[in-house]
Amino acid sequence: MTRDERLGLILATTGFATLSFGDAVVKTAAGEWPAHAFAALRFVIGASVLSLILLKKEGAGAFVPVSPWLQIARGACLALATVFFFSAIHIMPLAEAMAIAFLAPVLTQVLAGLLLNEEVRRSVYGVSCIALIGVVIVLRPNLAELGLAAFLPLLSATFFALLMIANRASLGQGSSLSMQVFVAVVCAPVLIVISAGLKVSGIQAMDYSWPAWDVVARCALVALTATTAHWLVYIGTSKAGAAQVAPAIYVQMIVAIIMGWWWFNDRPDVYTLGGAGLIIAAGLYLWRDGLKADGEVQSLSRAR
Protein backbone atom coordinates (compact mmCIF):
# COMPACT_ATOMS: atom_id res chain seq x y z
CA MET A 1 0.00 0.00 0.00
CA THR A 2 1.39 3.39 -1.01
CA ARG A 3 1.57 6.43 1.22
CA ASP A 4 -1.41 8.02 -0.58
CA GLU A 5 -3.46 4.85 -0.17
CA ARG A 6 -2.69 4.71 3.56
CA LEU A 7 -3.66 8.37 3.93
CA GLY A 8 -6.84 7.76 1.94
CA LEU A 9 -7.81 4.82 4.13
CA ILE A 10 -7.19 6.87 7.29
CA LEU A 11 -9.31 9.75 5.98
CA ALA A 12 -12.17 7.44 4.94
CA THR A 13 -12.09 5.59 8.25
CA THR A 14 -12.20 8.90 10.11
CA GLY A 15 -15.17 9.92 7.97
CA PHE A 16 -17.13 6.76 8.74
CA ALA A 17 -16.36 7.09 12.45
CA THR A 18 -17.57 10.69 12.35
CA LEU A 19 -20.92 9.54 10.95
CA SER A 20 -21.46 7.30 13.98
CA PHE A 21 -20.57 10.18 16.29
CA GLY A 22 -23.28 12.23 14.58
CA ASP A 23 -25.76 9.37 15.08
CA ALA A 24 -24.98 9.41 18.79
CA VAL A 25 -25.69 13.16 18.88
CA VAL A 26 -29.07 12.50 17.22
CA LYS A 27 -29.88 9.96 19.95
CA THR A 28 -29.24 12.55 22.67
CA ALA A 29 -32.32 14.44 21.44
CA ALA A 30 -34.65 11.49 22.13
CA GLY A 31 -37.51 12.73 24.30
CA GLU A 32 -36.66 16.38 23.61
CA TRP A 33 -37.67 16.68 19.95
CA PRO A 34 -39.14 14.13 17.50
CA ALA A 35 -36.79 12.35 15.12
CA HIS A 36 -38.66 13.56 12.03
CA ALA A 37 -38.37 17.21 13.06
CA PHE A 38 -34.69 16.76 13.93
CA ALA A 39 -34.06 15.21 10.50
CA ALA A 40 -35.88 18.06 8.73
CA LEU A 41 -33.92 20.82 10.48
CA ARG A 42 -30.64 18.95 10.02
CA PHE A 43 -31.16 18.83 6.24
CA VAL A 44 -32.43 22.40 5.99
CA ILE A 45 -29.14 23.52 7.57
CA GLY A 46 -27.05 21.13 5.47
CA ALA A 47 -28.78 21.96 2.17
CA SER A 48 -28.44 25.72 2.79
CA VAL A 49 -24.72 25.57 3.51
CA LEU A 50 -23.94 23.15 0.66
CA SER A 51 -25.94 25.28 -1.79
CA LEU A 52 -23.96 28.40 -0.87
CA ILE A 53 -20.69 26.50 -1.36
CA LEU A 54 -21.84 25.15 -4.75
CA LEU A 55 -22.97 28.61 -5.89
CA LYS A 56 -19.59 30.08 -5.01
CA LYS A 57 -17.56 27.26 -6.58
CA GLU A 58 -19.52 26.33 -9.70
CA GLY A 59 -22.08 29.07 -10.28
CA ALA A 60 -25.86 29.01 -10.77
CA GLY A 61 -25.63 26.64 -13.76
CA ALA A 62 -24.53 23.80 -11.46
CA PHE A 63 -28.01 23.73 -9.88
CA VAL A 64 -29.66 22.43 -13.08
CA PRO A 65 -29.76 18.60 -12.94
CA VAL A 66 -29.46 16.42 -16.03
CA SER A 67 -32.23 14.08 -14.80
CA PRO A 68 -34.57 15.97 -12.43
CA TRP A 69 -36.79 12.98 -11.65
CA LEU A 70 -33.78 10.87 -10.75
CA GLN A 71 -32.59 13.54 -8.32
CA ILE A 72 -36.08 13.71 -6.80
CA ALA A 73 -35.96 9.95 -6.32
CA ARG A 74 -32.55 10.24 -4.64
CA GLY A 75 -33.77 12.93 -2.27
CA ALA A 76 -36.97 11.08 -1.40
CA CYS A 77 -35.06 7.87 -0.66
CA LEU A 78 -32.58 9.72 1.55
CA ALA A 79 -35.42 11.49 3.39
CA LEU A 80 -37.19 8.23 4.19
CA ALA A 81 -33.95 6.40 5.06
CA THR A 82 -33.00 9.23 7.43
CA VAL A 83 -36.33 9.62 9.20
CA PHE A 84 -36.63 5.86 9.74
CA PHE A 85 -33.06 5.59 11.04
CA PHE A 86 -33.30 8.63 13.32
CA SER A 87 -36.58 7.24 14.69
CA ALA A 88 -34.90 3.86 15.25
CA ILE A 89 -31.97 5.24 17.23
CA HIS A 90 -34.36 7.29 19.37
CA ILE A 91 -36.03 4.11 20.64
CA MET A 92 -33.35 1.40 20.18
CA PRO A 93 -29.75 0.99 21.32
CA LEU A 94 -27.43 2.62 18.78
CA ALA A 95 -25.45 -0.56 18.05
CA GLU A 96 -28.57 -2.61 17.31
CA ALA A 97 -30.04 -0.05 14.94
CA MET A 98 -26.67 0.29 13.22
CA ALA A 99 -26.28 -3.48 12.87
CA ILE A 100 -29.59 -3.82 11.02
CA ALA A 101 -28.85 -0.75 8.88
CA PHE A 102 -25.74 -2.55 7.62
CA LEU A 103 -28.07 -4.76 5.60
CA ALA A 104 -28.12 -1.92 3.04
CA PRO A 105 -24.97 -3.00 1.09
CA VAL A 106 -26.41 -6.51 0.72
CA LEU A 107 -29.80 -5.20 -0.40
CA THR A 108 -28.06 -2.93 -2.90
CA GLN A 109 -26.49 -5.94 -4.61
CA VAL A 110 -29.86 -7.68 -4.92
CA LEU A 111 -31.81 -4.60 -6.02
CA ALA A 112 -29.18 -3.68 -8.63
CA GLY A 113 -30.17 -6.80 -10.53
CA LEU A 114 -33.89 -6.02 -10.34
CA LEU A 115 -33.77 -2.29 -11.06
CA LEU A 116 -30.62 -1.77 -13.16
CA ASN A 117 -30.57 -5.15 -14.92
CA GLU A 118 -27.07 -5.76 -13.56
CA GLU A 119 -25.88 -9.35 -13.47
CA VAL A 120 -26.20 -10.66 -9.92
CA ARG A 121 -23.78 -13.40 -8.88
CA ARG A 122 -25.35 -16.53 -7.38
CA SER A 123 -23.39 -16.03 -4.19
CA VAL A 124 -25.29 -12.80 -3.54
CA TYR A 125 -28.54 -14.64 -2.85
CA GLY A 126 -26.97 -17.13 -0.44
CA VAL A 127 -25.08 -14.42 1.41
CA SER A 128 -28.25 -12.31 1.55
CA CYS A 129 -30.01 -15.15 3.40
CA ILE A 130 -27.16 -15.25 5.93
CA ALA A 131 -27.42 -11.49 6.43
CA LEU A 132 -31.18 -11.78 6.95
CA ILE A 133 -30.57 -14.42 9.62
CA GLY A 134 -28.33 -11.87 11.33
CA VAL A 135 -31.13 -9.30 11.14
CA VAL A 136 -33.61 -11.76 12.70
CA ILE A 137 -31.16 -12.45 15.55
CA VAL A 138 -30.76 -8.73 16.28
CA LEU A 139 -34.48 -8.04 15.91
CA ARG A 140 -35.70 -10.90 18.11
CA PRO A 141 -35.52 -9.22 21.56
CA ASN A 142 -36.50 -5.79 20.15
CA LEU A 143 -39.56 -7.17 18.35
CA ALA A 144 -40.98 -8.48 21.63
CA GLU A 145 -40.38 -5.15 23.35
CA LEU A 146 -41.06 -2.59 20.59
CA GLY A 147 -43.43 -4.38 18.23
CA LEU A 148 -43.44 -3.22 14.61
CA ALA A 149 -41.28 -0.20 15.53
CA ALA A 150 -38.35 -2.63 15.66
CA PHE A 151 -38.49 -2.78 11.85
CA LEU A 152 -37.58 0.92 11.50
CA PRO A 153 -33.85 0.29 10.83
CA LEU A 154 -34.81 -2.39 8.29
CA LEU A 155 -36.97 0.15 6.44
CA SER A 156 -34.07 2.61 6.63
CA ALA A 157 -31.70 0.04 5.12
CA THR A 158 -34.15 -0.63 2.28
CA PHE A 159 -34.47 3.04 1.31
CA PHE A 160 -30.72 3.57 1.69
CA ALA A 161 -30.15 0.67 -0.71
CA LEU A 162 -32.57 2.32 -3.16
CA LEU A 163 -30.58 5.54 -2.76
CA MET A 164 -27.40 3.66 -3.68
CA ILE A 165 -29.13 2.31 -6.79
CA ALA A 166 -30.23 5.83 -7.76
CA ASN A 167 -26.67 7.06 -7.12
CA ARG A 168 -25.33 4.46 -9.56
CA ALA A 169 -27.87 5.52 -12.17
CA SER A 170 -26.82 9.19 -11.80
CA LEU A 171 -23.05 8.67 -12.14
CA GLY A 172 -21.42 11.30 -14.33
CA GLN A 173 -24.33 13.74 -14.12
CA GLY A 174 -22.46 16.35 -12.09
CA SER A 175 -19.63 17.02 -9.66
CA SER A 176 -19.55 15.30 -6.30
CA LEU A 177 -20.57 18.60 -4.65
CA SER A 178 -23.52 19.17 -6.98
CA MET A 179 -24.72 15.61 -6.44
CA GLN A 180 -24.67 16.23 -2.68
CA VAL A 181 -26.62 19.45 -3.17
CA PHE A 182 -29.23 17.82 -5.45
CA VAL A 183 -30.01 15.12 -2.91
CA ALA A 184 -30.03 17.54 0.05
CA VAL A 185 -32.27 20.20 -1.54
CA VAL A 186 -34.86 17.53 -2.36
CA CYS A 187 -34.49 15.72 0.96
CA ALA A 188 -35.06 18.87 3.06
CA PRO A 189 -38.53 19.81 1.72
CA VAL A 190 -39.64 16.16 1.72
CA LEU A 191 -38.74 15.96 5.41
CA ILE A 192 -40.47 19.27 6.10
CA VAL A 193 -43.68 17.92 4.54
CA ILE A 194 -43.39 14.67 6.51
CA SER A 195 -42.71 16.56 9.73
CA ALA A 196 -45.59 19.00 9.18
CA GLY A 197 -47.96 16.15 8.32
CA LEU A 198 -47.07 14.25 11.48
CA LYS A 199 -47.48 17.39 13.60
CA VAL A 200 -51.09 17.89 12.46
CA SER A 201 -51.88 14.17 12.51
CA GLY A 202 -53.24 14.34 16.04
CA ILE A 203 -50.75 11.73 17.29
CA GLN A 204 -49.44 13.14 20.55
CA ALA A 205 -46.02 11.51 20.25
CA MET A 206 -45.50 13.20 16.86
CA ASP A 207 -46.42 16.72 18.00
CA TYR A 208 -43.70 19.26 18.70
CA SER A 209 -43.04 22.95 19.23
CA TRP A 210 -40.00 25.09 18.44
CA PRO A 211 -36.96 23.40 20.01
CA ALA A 212 -34.62 24.67 22.68
CA TRP A 213 -31.45 26.35 21.44
CA ASP A 214 -29.32 23.34 22.34
CA VAL A 215 -31.44 21.03 20.14
CA VAL A 216 -30.94 23.44 17.23
CA ALA A 217 -27.22 23.43 18.01
CA ARG A 218 -27.19 19.63 17.90
CA CYS A 219 -28.97 19.67 14.53
CA ALA A 220 -26.29 22.04 13.23
CA LEU A 221 -23.56 19.82 14.69
CA VAL A 222 -24.99 16.74 12.98
CA ALA A 223 -25.21 18.63 9.68
CA LEU A 224 -21.57 19.70 10.08
CA THR A 225 -20.27 16.26 11.07
CA ALA A 226 -22.20 14.51 8.28
CA THR A 227 -20.94 16.93 5.61
CA THR A 228 -17.39 16.64 6.94
CA ALA A 229 -17.65 12.85 7.06
CA HIS A 230 -18.85 12.59 3.45
CA TRP A 231 -16.04 14.91 2.36
CA LEU A 232 -13.44 12.78 4.19
CA VAL A 233 -14.82 9.59 2.64
CA TYR A 234 -14.79 11.20 -0.82
CA ILE A 235 -11.19 12.40 -0.47
CA GLY A 236 -10.14 9.06 1.00
CA THR A 237 -11.77 7.17 -1.85
CA SER A 238 -10.09 9.38 -4.45
CA LYS A 239 -6.70 8.64 -2.90
CA ALA A 240 -7.02 4.96 -2.01
CA GLY A 241 -9.73 3.74 -4.38
CA ALA A 242 -13.21 2.44 -3.63
CA ALA A 243 -12.03 -1.17 -3.22
CA GLN A 244 -9.54 -0.23 -0.49
CA VAL A 245 -11.97 2.03 1.34
CA ALA A 246 -15.16 -0.08 1.25
CA PRO A 247 -14.45 -2.31 4.31
CA ALA A 248 -13.70 0.77 6.42
CA ILE A 249 -17.43 1.48 6.61
CA TYR A 250 -17.75 -1.17 9.31
CA VAL A 251 -15.76 0.98 11.72
CA GLN A 252 -19.15 2.65 12.24
CA MET A 253 -20.27 -0.43 14.15
CA ILE A 254 -17.30 -0.25 16.50
CA VAL A 255 -17.85 3.46 17.14
CA ALA A 256 -21.60 2.87 17.63
CA ILE A 257 -20.90 0.25 20.30
CA ILE A 258 -18.42 2.55 22.06
CA MET A 259 -20.69 5.62 21.90
CA GLY A 260 -23.75 3.64 22.98
CA TRP A 261 -21.90 2.16 25.95
CA TRP A 262 -20.25 5.45 26.94
CA TRP A 263 -23.12 7.94 26.45
CA PHE A 264 -26.21 5.81 26.99
CA ASN A 265 -25.00 2.79 28.98
CA ASP A 266 -26.29 0.46 26.24
CA ARG A 267 -24.24 -2.71 26.44
CA PRO A 268 -24.76 -4.95 23.39
CA ASP A 269 -25.65 -8.52 24.30
CA VAL A 270 -24.40 -11.67 22.62
CA TYR A 271 -27.40 -11.70 20.23
CA THR A 272 -26.62 -8.20 18.97
CA LEU A 273 -22.93 -8.98 18.52
CA GLY A 274 -23.65 -12.33 16.87
CA GLY A 275 -26.28 -10.94 14.50
CA ALA A 276 -24.12 -7.94 13.65
CA GLY A 277 -21.22 -10.29 12.99
CA LEU A 278 -23.27 -12.23 10.44
CA ILE A 279 -24.44 -9.06 8.67
CA ILE A 280 -20.94 -7.58 8.53
CA ALA A 281 -19.43 -10.90 7.41
CA ALA A 282 -21.99 -11.04 4.59
CA GLY A 283 -21.11 -7.52 3.48
CA LEU A 284 -17.37 -8.21 3.57
CA TYR A 285 -17.82 -11.47 1.64
CA LEU A 286 -19.75 -9.70 -1.11
CA TRP A 287 -17.09 -6.98 -1.27
CA ARG A 288 -14.28 -9.53 -1.59
CA ASP A 289 -16.25 -11.68 -4.03
CA GLY A 290 -16.89 -8.59 -6.12
CA LEU A 291 -13.18 -7.79 -6.23
CA LYS A 292 -12.46 -11.35 -7.34
CA ALA A 293 -15.09 -11.17 -10.06
CA ASP A 294 -13.75 -7.83 -11.29
CA GLY A 295 -10.25 -9.29 -11.38
CA GLU A 296 -11.41 -12.22 -13.48
CA VAL A 297 -13.17 -9.89 -15.94
CA GLN A 298 -10.05 -7.77 -16.28
CA SER A 299 -7.91 -10.89 -16.86
CA LEU A 300 -10.25 -12.07 -19.61
CA SER A 301 -10.18 -8.62 -21.20
CA ARG A 302 -6.37 -8.59 -21.23
CA ALA A 303 -6.33 -12.13 -22.69
CA ARG A 304 -8.50 -10.97 -25.59
pLDDT digits (tens, 9 = 90+) for 201-212: 888 878 889 889
pLDDT at 174: 84
Q: What number is the average pLDDT over the span 5-32?
A: 90
Domain range for 111 = 3-303
Q: What number is the average pLDDT over the span 171-197?
A: 91
List the Cα angle 7/167/175 in 5-degree steps: 65
Does the pLDDT at position 251 exceed 90?
Answer: no
Q: What number is the average pLDDT over the span 177-186?
A: 91
**Confidence label for 302 from pLDDT (cuts 50, 70 and 90):** very low
- Contact in structure between 290 and 127 (CB atoms under 8 Å): no
pLDDT at 235: 84
Single pTM value for the model:
0.85
Q: What number is the average pLDDT over the span 91-104?
A: 87
d(CA 47, CA 180): 9
Does the pLDDT at position 295 exceed 60?
Answer: no
Number of domain units in the chain: 1
- Relative orientation angle of helices 35-58 and 3-27, to the nearest 10 degrees: 140
Q: What number is the average pLDDT over the span 33-53?
A: 94
pLDDT at 223: 93
Q: What number is the average pLDDT over the span 239-251?
A: 75
